[in-house]
């Protein structure tokens, strides 16, 4: 066998390999950044609870911190976020706004999960207690969004997706940019919702592997196409 690389294929292969290696290294670096964020979020879960007293500039400072908040539930504004799975069963997240003591702001609280009832798609009856309450829980973002195939994604108090912006727009209530997953003191019939931080490291690792594999494949093809059997 003899090896006679051609100029055009060599230049093309070199450019493609350089590009894919660069993209792979970029994904590795992004993965390292996400790993650092993962460590930060996990460390927050071990810290003492933070008391919510009013508006915050962004969700970043509160994400995955244990929080406490006191106030009163805002009647008539509880929503049921559909298509939530718990122990293999479909149901809803029950989300209600809690007006924060001494503030005009409120915070959305995920009070727990409840199964669909015989009246589905209508939501089951879940009472919203009156009076002063104190809630403890984990500050998170709204649940993962589902693809919306039409504009009819809100049917009364049943929502296909929950977003802070949409809730503010439809209710006029100035809610904080986080959702608190209630821990303890749940109403009978509701199951606690748990969540762990996921900064998305695996996604970047998969992308990096894909780019490096493409670079290796291109190199192997370049070698194979330029090998010639000697006569």
Q: In terms of C-beta density within 10 A (0-12 exposed, 13-18 middle, 19 or more buried), how is residue 158 classed?
A: middle
Q: Tell whether the model's pLDDT for residue 229 goes beyond 90.
A: no
Q: State yes or no: pLDDT of 216 exceeds 70.
A: yes
**Arithmetic mean of pLDDT over the chain:** 87
- 174 token code pair: 């100035």
Tell me the torsion sign for CA atoms 37, 40, 44, 50.
negative
pLDDT of residue 145: 64
Indicate the domain borders of the chain. Answer: 2-41+201-228, 46-182
Q: How many CB atoms lie within 10 A of CB 126?
A: 17
For the stretch 175-208, what's the b/e string if a residue is b when 16 or more beta carbons lie within 10 angstroms of its beta carbon? bbbbbbbbbeeeeeebeebeeebebebeebbebb
Q: Is the pLDDT of residue 133 over 70?
A: yes
Q: Which residue has the tokens 């089951």?
A: 124
Predicted TM-score (pTM) of the model is: 0.72
Residue 170: band (very low, low, confident or very high) from pLDDT cuts 50, 70, 90: very high
* Segment 91-102, tens digit of pLDDT: 999 999 999 999
Taking residues 57-62, what's their average pLDDT? 86
């Amino acid at each position: 066998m003899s090896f006679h690389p051609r100029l055009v294929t060599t230049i093309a292969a070199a450019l493609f390999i350089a590009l894919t290696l660069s993209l792979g290294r970029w994904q590795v670096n992004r993965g390292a950044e996400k790993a650092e964020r993962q460590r930060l979020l996990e460390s927050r879960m071990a810290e003492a609870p933070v008391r919510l007293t009013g508006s915050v500039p962004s969700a970043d400072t509160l994400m995955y911190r244990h929080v406490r908040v006191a106030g009163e539930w805002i009647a008539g504004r509880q929503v049921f976020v559909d298509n939530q799975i718990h122990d293999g069963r479909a149901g809803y997240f029950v989300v209600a706004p809690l007006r924060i003591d001494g503030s005009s702001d409120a915070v959305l609280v995920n009070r727990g999960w409840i199964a669909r009832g015989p009246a589905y798609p209508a939501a089951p009856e879940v009472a919203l207690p009156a009076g002063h309450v104190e809630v403890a829980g984990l500050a998170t973002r709204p649940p993962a969004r589902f693809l919306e195939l039409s504009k009819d994604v809100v049917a009364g108090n049943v929502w296909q997706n929950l977003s802070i912006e949409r809730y503010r727009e439809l209710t006029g209530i100035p809610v904080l940019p986080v959702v608190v997953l209630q821990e303890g003191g749940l109403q009978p019939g509701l199951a606690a919702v748990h969540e762990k931080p996921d900064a998305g490291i695996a996604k970047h690792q998969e992308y990096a592997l894909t780019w490096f594999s493409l670079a290796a494949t291109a190199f192997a093809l370049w070698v194979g196409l330029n090998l010639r059997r000697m006569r």
